[in-house]
Structure 1
Amino acid sequence: MIFGIKEKKNPNKFTREREERELVKTVIKRVQDSTQEFDQEEDTVKG
């Protein structure tokens, strides 16, 4: 569950599900990117 993101109210189930999948992919990519940046910063501090 992701808080702070408004649900789509598109009545077409197929379209709504596709949009939601794309949104989830975007959120996951941003989390992965921020995690990689944190790991790189941590390596720099430890190095």
Structure 2
Amino acid sequence: MVALKDSQMVAVPIADAIRERKKVDLSSDKILTAREIGICLGDNPEEE
């Protein structure tokens, strides 16, 4: 899997990536940018 770490793209074994649940702030700039360009995140932001 590819991940962004300290502004660098790095390879991460998928087992490491899914080992523990990670939470993302839904108001973060990355989430807002993804929504602005049409990426669906599996939720309905209008209901929040």
Give the TM-score, by structure 2 length: 0.28
More strand by share: 2
More helix by share: 1
Determine which structure has more spread, i.e. the larger CA radius of gyration: 1
TM-score by structure 1 length?
A: 0.29
